[in-house]
A and B are shown apart, each in its own frame.
Chain A
């Protein structure tokens, strides 16, 4: 039996092991023969294909793929890269890209966070509700509370000092940004009116001030 082309089935597709020694023309012949033989067995499913055992140029890959569709009923959905180095590179690039997207996006949380509840997010978070005393909200990015913040908020938890915390009604127990911690005063002045405030870091100190247009201009994302 000619073993210059071997077809292996996997869960999601087929792996075609190619002989590296014979010429490409010889290989094509064996390739066609193999696929014609196996056509009935392989059926007409959608598969991912990967080539192994032989370095192929882009044109050669293309040619082999067209041979598959010509000589079997398989429908090739994608060609899978098997070179581990390349794969790693691609994975890394994909990961970085995803992270970049995450940095600039936020996650919504709807509902009140009550005492003992913790929400932790790998990006900015917007709470549609209150964060009550004893509750905690942690984000690597910014925290925006569309309600009352009376619990603890920890923005920029991975060290981002540009992170900020904003709440429609700001009366937190404690606010942390990056490695800094600020706590509420021991004898807080009772504010009857709700005031939208923003908390941010400047020169290594945590500041809280009323939110207005000027503050908006100072906000830097990431």
Chain B
């Protein structure tokens, strides 16, 4: 029986979709059978981040409305054969799907996949309700900014109210230099405010922008963010992985080293 994980944040732009793409790809890299579901109906972009936009024929709404079978709508990833994407519809809105339908869909996919990862839209309206409906656990993504943390707190409250068993925190786009100067909250500060389990800290990394634009998740690469995401995947599988030393910044030596490793 597979596990359904919802990636959510409340606030927009903190990295839900990036986290979904990287965690999903990372789990597939670790030989798990994974399906990513974009529940952001009307503003889909997980397909773009995964570089699979040109393969879309059917989407989530088509599946729910029985215009096609689930199999037909699942897009196989171009890198990992055990990774699939169920894209969202672009021409509809959140009300095209109900939480009950999402739960049914998740339960059907549970039979076949090890992990079903839902990319939740920003906000706490129906899109959010749809995304969390079938989920067993949640990854709450936040950046170390008061606004994002405030929204994350609200989301965690809503998840608790919906009897979510497991809630994990991902602190995204952390800048150690700013934390050192005291200009940014540290991950510890965020954990203290939100009082939930921390599952990973992802540094602010310009490689993410490049990877997103190319439609290639960077999980598992030598970049710090890539390693951080891989560690999150390992922890999801139950491994004990120490937090990454984010101070080991990608200096020139590291960059050279990674060049050699690639070859």
Contacts and interface: CB of A to CB of B under 8 A. Distances in A.
B53 A117 contact: no
Closest 6 pairs (CB-CB, A-B): A183-B54, A116-B90, A184-B54, A173-B54, A118-B91, A174-B54
10 contacts: A116-B43, A116-B90, A117-B91, A134-B44, A134-B53, A136-B90, A136-B91, A173-B54, A174-B56, A186-B78
B51 interface: yes
Most buried by A among B44, B54, B57: B54
A107 interface: no
Given A116-B42, A174-B56, A186-B78, A134 B90 contact: yes
Interface of B: 42-44, 51, 53-57, 78, 90-91, 215
A181 B57 contact: yes
A141 B154 CA distance: 51
Contacts, number: 26
Contacts of B56: 174
Contacts of B57: 181
Given A116-B91, A118-B91, A173 B51 contact: no
A133 interface: yes
Interface residues of A, number: 13
A222 interface: no
A115 interface: yes
A116 B42 CA distance: 7
Nearest to B44: A134
Contacts of A186: 51, 54, 78, 215
Contacts of B44: 134
Interface in A107-133: 115-118, 133
Most buried by A among B55, B57, B78, B90: B90
A58 B173 CA distance: 87
A168 B43 CA distance: 27
Given A116-B42, A186-B78, A173 B90 contact: no
Nearest to A173: B54
A204 to B, nearest CB: 18
